[in-house]
Structure 1
Amino acid sequence: MLRGRWRATGSALLRLTVVWAVSTLTMLVLAGVLPDFRLQSGDDDSITQIGLAAAWGAGAFGLLGALVWPLLVRALLLVPALVLGLLVFFLNGSLLLLALRLVPDGRGEAAPETAVVVAAVMSAVASATSTALAVRDDEAYRRRLYRLADRRRRGQRRAAGPGAARTAPGMLFLQLDGVGYEVLRAAAADGLMPTVAGWLDHGHRLTSWRTDWSSQTGASQLGILHGSNFDVPAFRWYEKETGEVMVCNRPTSAAELQLRAIERTRDGGLLTLDGASRGNLFSGGADQLALVLSVSARRGRANRSRAGYFAYFRDPANAVRTALSFVAEVCREIGQSVRARLRGDLPRVARAGLYPLIRAFATVVERDVVVAAVIGDMLAGRAAVYADLVAYDEVAHHSGPAGRDTRQVLARLDRSLALLSRVAEHAPREYRIVLLSDHGQSPGETFLGKYGLTLKDLVRAGCGLPVSRRAGRTHSGAEARAAVLAALHRPVEEEEEARPGRDPVVLPSGNLGLISFPAMAGRATRERIERAHPALLTTLASHPGIGFLLVDGEVLGPGGAVARLAVPGEAEELLAPFGPGAAEAVRRSDAFPHVADIMVNSAYDPATGEVHAFEEQIGSHGGLGGEQGRPFLMWPAVLSDPGPGLVGAEAVHDVLRRWLREADGPQVPLQDPRPEAATGGSFPSAGAPVQDENH
């Protein structure tokens, strides 16, 4: 054992020496090609003196990176991740300037902007060198994990006696956010996702499942992870008793929704036994967390979700690699947006402002941190891991579900899956990989783009409230105002001021809209709404961009059609164009305590699969109509079949629970020998290659 320790220590020192030497050479080369970077105090310095200055500077930079960088990242845990990503270059350049000040005789000097470039190049070179040298060591480390796990299993069997169960396989649940069933099938068939295609060819099975009416991540993931998405009518909704708007991706709302689900089910969640939750809205009861929204509002050492950032970014090489990819993705999005405009692609939405940064976070930062965390979970032998990769969903909203941009994202996601699959082969326990999605996406021009006004404009016009001149001049706006004039028998002045409590609250959720009247206590009946706003329901139901309304147990459709949910068959006939189970989904939402006074689903064209989002999204989800309601579930054949006609996220939760129970023997947690395991952020050893091939 002592001999092995000496060998490991010698190997680490050798790797450190090689990385230092390569960094020194890199610094010499950069000093020779960059005019604002020098390593000499005068022209008479010898080559030896310059080389020693480079070695000193490289060593100081590496030492500062090892000692100071983790402290800086930990201090910045409260900074939003987007800002942290942008600060990486500045912080790294500052460390280089500090390192150069430590070079004797003032031989090190660089302009601030040059220091940023030098620091980035040196970190990248050091990372590549360390990764190349670590390959053999990582393989040895994984073999040691195998031996530790095997030794633990043998000890447990001896302690339990003959016939004791062996350590169970682990479960890895990977969610590809927003990837619909047909999108995944086409990507696998076209060779765009060879890893997925390979899994399907060698034992995995694939099926679709049907979402609830609220076909969005908040409702689906809450149901999948916690077994209940009761009373989640949309992505955002208004609660009259508190006057608050609940938003699924708001930390305080996510925490409240998780608490409500736990109280309803009396169960902590899918991942309560040695589980890890990565990149999700909810924890699923897991103890190991990274990028989990429901706990992200916490502050301090207990906030292990943000500690996941620290575990990844504490390595400056990881930080620089991800930051470089972040900048590349911002440039890629700007280029793709410009090309779309030049080509005249339609439909199209604005992609300026902060969107390039938001896209880069979803497709680079979130992916890198989540993939690294999952690798650490597998090498630590955790029993159940659930991770969400959001890249496709974010890009599809602005580029369309089947565009050129989204195809590139699918290919990069497949490379991440391939990396995780390779790591699973070296994990100390077998892993059964389940791939799934929370919803799909439906294409279509936005409601605003198609009709020139928002749903809020249409509602206000139908209520006789002032609207913008732009909306008032549209055909839909003019018709709504004419209906109001006829119903009220009086003119409606555009300058009229809205009285407090009179204005309805209109909230979009993809192609689902929610209208609430704060002044009406409880859920408003159709009669109360028509007394207060005689033209509103007719205006909405007759609009060509609206498919149907739900008002207190009644479904209102075009042409004055009315179906009562309590009467069998009426709603099924009216909602038949929206696909199987549409009436059942609407009936379930109608029973929610916080369903809106008026629920509005956009029109849907079964021939094209198009809907009209009430938000600025040309790929949307949130309501009924098309692929948004058909996500997928893909599982290894060794697990039992989920059964036909899988409906609702709660049903998916039951299936995943069953697969956890099917594990051969008890879910025995494996002890991770590394010190990082105690921090809630286990990751591969330093230098382990955790990036996908896009870097």
Structure 2
Amino acid sequence: MRIVAVWAVSTLTMLALAGILPDFRLQSDDGDTITRTAFTAAWGAGAFGLLSALVWPVLVRALLIVPALVLGALVFFLNGSLLLIALSLIPDGRGDAAPETAVVVAAVMSAVASATSTALAVRDDEAYRRRLSRLADRRRRRGSPNTVEPDRDGPPGTVFLQLDGVGHDVLVKAAADGLMPTVAGWLADSSGHRLTPWRTDWSSQTGASQLALLHGSNHDVPAFRWYEKETGTVMVSSRPASALEMQRRAIARTRDGGLLTIDGASRGNLFSGGAGQLALVLSMAARRGKGRRSRSGYFAYFSDPANAVRTALSFAAEVGREIGQSTRARARKVTPRVKRGGLYPFIRAFATVVERDVVVAAVIGDMFAGRTAVYADLVAYDEVAHHSGPHSRDAEKVLQRLDRSLALIAKIADHTPRTYRIVLLSDHGQSPGETFAGRYGLTLKDLVRAGCGLPVRRRARGTHSASEARDAVRIALHRPPEAEEPEAEHPAKRSDPIVLASGNLGLISFPDIEGRASREEIDRRNPALLSTLANHPGIGFLLVRSEEHGSVVLGPGGAEVPVDRLADGEGPIAVFGTGAAAAVRRTDTFPHVADIMVNSMYDPDTGTVHAFEEQIGSHGGLGGEQSRPFLLWPRGMTDPLDIVAAETADGAPPPPGGGLVGAEAVHRVLNRWLLEFSGPQVPVRAEGFTGTPHADEPFPERGTAV
């Protein structure tokens, strides 16, 4: 009956469009009776529906090699082509449409058919349950032999949903203000969920946090991007090859395949977590072979043309929304503000629409299939907050839409073949503030080059900061004031310093100095650099290695504290709060820590930092909300602080300042929760896997015994 109803609505829609659009007809040249025209519309609607059901999935599978943004743009063209084919099948050639009109007709018909089918299914609870059950059965039949057979009376599954970049305080405020009613309901219900903040490591960004959350270690991840001297490689967490290398190193260190090794699914993440089911997983994008393509998750979603059209329309609407919001911000001269033109509207639309829709659909499919553990990352808020600000109205609107996705997943859990516990968490927060370049007129790279006596960009040359740096270089090198661009000794023997930014964390490396450069070596080559950086008002503190005192933290006014004597609330790190000293000490032990680590200033009164990138909401270093993400879990699961207390009782060192500290600690909590309800999660390791970073080395497969 639903099929007949959808067919009838599609027929009426086609008749209405034929009457509205001049280049779309359903009659012969001599005209037809109303009955004949209705029959023609019914024929065309039926043919279009069959083609959508049979041909569309094949087209999408064939186009998986096409980049996601291109595939989204092709949705309209392909759907319009199917409509033209359907019209050509109408007897006596009564159906005809111009190509551009066919695109419009196909989009409208797909959207109307989808809305009608969904409405009818929702009103019929038993039909809805049967459809979900059939989908679950099909997925189980296609699944791995290791897949756990689901049972609503058996152990529950766990869905970990990561709201990327949403800080603890942002979540609490959004729930209190009514922006996230689903989260507010969980927090208000005495039998619902519990919430706690946790502290990130110094590198407060997705690469470091999610690697530890999924694989148990983020050792030697000093920032989102860093330079490795022995190979001359710049590692960037958002590059597939780098993400795969980071994942391999973590597995080699922990000797464990990851959080999701037993019947797990990884959706929209940087790393796989050892899951057998993958979709939009960056670390697997560089690999080939069946089941390893990161874009394979698009097929399950875009195989339904109604989904494709709905997402494409939402994509276009989001592009328009971003253009309107950025134009309004410029007209009102909102500050701080960054440029939001070029490809950014499309990047934002992909993160807030395409990625969200595909990931949510994949999670729902995993729940239908009864998978034991699912981990998914929703990046929408993080992307918008970078450019609009973490407390902006634009970002609040994204939180509202994310809450609707959470509500959908929670509702679906009532119909799945096994019960599910939904755990919400974030990998970091975001701290607001004007960019370093916006505030001082030059980038961190410009300041470093000026401090080294190297030429800087014409625009930065006249700034106060660059002028002070050049004066310091002249004094240190005993050069006359009239010297335009003084240079340090032996400039021909030195390569330029590499300056990288990760939010408000900067990394400076000297590629021609083997190993980690010492403070003394830096001073010999560039005698004004360290003092120029340490005394700049936009910089909070530096970390460098000294041959005489070991690693030291430098601050303004000649402040210098050895790392082993560093204490919270004292010296250059005084304003950065509890845990800052331990975070700096841990990063100092990393093999690939930069020659100079630079953390921007932090104003505790306003909570602002200065990003070294073009971001007015940033994360990556210490200072403010960026280091304070959240963990929200259903009551009945062991309290994370009780797990930390048990580890301390077993001889583990207590976390500095107490509480839940570091993404590795959160990983242990997540793993403990899986153990409590789903049985032991057996560590996995592929035969012959040594953990060394070679492209031809096999990746540990799910279910492989130690």
Are positions 1:565 and 2:563 aligned together? yes
- One-letter identity of the residue aligned with 1:654: R
Deviation by residue 1:584-605 (Cα, 9 ceiling, x = unmatched): 1011001100111111100100
CA distance in 1, matches of 2:3, 2:586: 61
Aligned residue for 1:663, secondary structure, equals helix
Matched, 1:169 2:159: no
Structure-2 change in CA distance of 1:621 and 1:667 (3 Å):
closer
2:555–2:572 contact (8 Å) kept in structure 1: yes
Deviation at 1:66, TM superposition (A): 2.0
Partner deviation per Cα, 1:386-424 (whole Å, 9 max, x = no partner): 111111101000110111111111111111111111111
- Tell me if the contact between 2:261 and 2:681 (Cα under 8 Å) persists in the aligned partners: no
**Contact map agreement 1:145 1:428 (CA 8 A) in 2:** no
SS at match of 2:287: coil
What residue in structure 1 maps to residue 553 of structure 2?
555
Pick closer, same or farther for the CA change 1:129–1:494 going to 2, 3 Å: same
Does residue 517 (structure 1) correspond to residue 531 (structure 2)? The answer is no
Per-residue deviation, residues 75-122 of structure 1 (Å, max 9, x unmatched): 221222122112211221122223223333332222222111111001
Is 1:178 matched with 2:156? no
Task: Give the Å deviation of 1:363.
Answer: 0.8
2:452–2:526 Cα contact (<8 Å) kept: yes
Instruction: Work out whether 1:384 is the aligned partner of 2:387.
Output: no
| Change in CA separation of 1:197 and 1:569 when aligned onto 2, cut-off 3 Å | closer
1:596 paired with 2:573, answer no
Q: How does 1:450-461 map to 2 (within 5 A)?
A: 450-461=439-450
- Alignment partner, residue 582 of structure 1: 580
Q: Please state how far the C-alpha of 1:225 moved relative to its aligned partner.
A: 0.5
- Which of 64, 87, 107 lines up with 1:120 in the alignment? 107
Measure the CA separation in 1 of the matches of 2:412 and 2:635.
21
Count of residue pairs the alignment pairs up = 643
Aligned pair partner of 1:541 in 534, 540, 550: 534
Q: Deviations over 1:406-461 (max 9, x none)?
A: 11111111111111111112222221111110000000000010000100111111
Amino acid at match of 1:231: D
- 2:146 matched residue in structure 1: none
Corresponding residue number in structure 2 for 1:139: 129
Which residue among 74, 83, 104 is the counterpart of 2:61?
74
How far did residue 52 of structure 1 move? 3.0
Identity among equivalent pairs (%): 75
34-43 or 211-220, which deviates more:
34-43
Structure 1 residue 501 displacement after superposition: 5.2
Alignment of 1:298-447 (within 5 A): 298-447=287-436
Deviations 1:235-257 (A, max 9, x none): 00011111111000111111110
Contact 2:211 2:218 in 1 (8 A): yes
Structure 1: stretches of 5+ with no match in the other structure? 1-13, 150-163, 669-679, 681-695
Unaligned ranges ≥5, structure 2 = 140-150, 546-550, 642-657, 683-700, 702-706
Question: Is 1:31 matched up with 2:18?
Answer: yes
Name the SS for the 1:662 alignment partner: helix
One-letter code of the match for 1:401?
P
Deviations 1:469-498 (CA, angstroms, capped at 9, x unpaired): 110011111111111122223366559998
Query: 2:628 corresponds to which residue?
Result: 630
Letter in 1 for 2:88: R
Partner of 2:522: 529
Q: Say if 1:394 and 1:499 are closer, same or farther in 2 by CA, change over 3 A.
A: farther
Q: Which of the numbers 617, 624, 640 marks the counterpart of 2:615?
A: 617
TM-score normalized by the length of structure 1? 0.89
Instruction: Give the C-alpha shift of residue 146 in structure 1.
Output: 10
Secondary structure of the corresponding residue to residue 677 of structure 2: coil
Kindly tell me: are residues 26 and 300 of structure 1, through their superposed partners in 2, closer, same or farther at Cα, counting changes over 3 Å?
Answer: farther
Identify if the C-alpha distance between structure 1 residues 358 and 101 changes in structure 2 by more than 3 Å, giving closer, same or farther.
same
- Kept in 2, the 8 Å contact 1:433–1:636? The answer is yes
SS in 1 for 2:55: helix
Change (3 A) 1:186 1:75: same
CA distance in 2, matches of 1:635, 1:56: 52
Change (3 A) 1:650 1:557: same
SS in 1 for 2:423: strand
Distance 1:107 1:143 in 2: 41
**Aligned equivalents of 1:401, 1:566: Cα separation in 2:** 35
What residue identity is the alignment partner of 1:227?
G
> 1:144 Cα deviation (Å)?
7.6
| Matches of 1:144 and 1:585, distance apart in 2 | 50
Distance (whole Å) between structure 2 residues aligned to residue 73 and residue 462 of structure 1: 54
> Given that residues 210 and 630 in structure 1 are in contact (C-alpha distance below 8 angstroms), is that contact kept between their aligned partners in structure 2?
yes
Alignment partners' CA distance in 2, 1:597 and 1:412 = 43
Distance across 2 between alignment mates of 1:18 and 1:359: 37
Q: Distance in 1 between matches of 2:568 and 2:164?
A: 34
1:510–1:615 Cα contact (<8 Å) kept: yes
- Paired with 2:339 and 2:37, the residues of 1 have a C-alpha distance of 52
CA contact (8 A) 1:563 1:571 kept: no
Question: 2:204 is matched with which residue?
Answer: 215
Q: SS at the partner of 1:167?
A: coil
State the Cα deviation string for residues 302-359 of structure 1 (Å, max 9, x = none).
3253111011101100000111111111111111111111222110111111111111
Residues 605 and 611 in structure 1, CA contact (< 8 A), matched pair in contact too: yes
CA RMSD, Structure 1 to Structure 2 (Å): 2.4
Partner of 1:41: 28
Question: Does the Cα contact within 8 Å between 2:473 and 2:486 map onto a contact in 1?
Answer: no
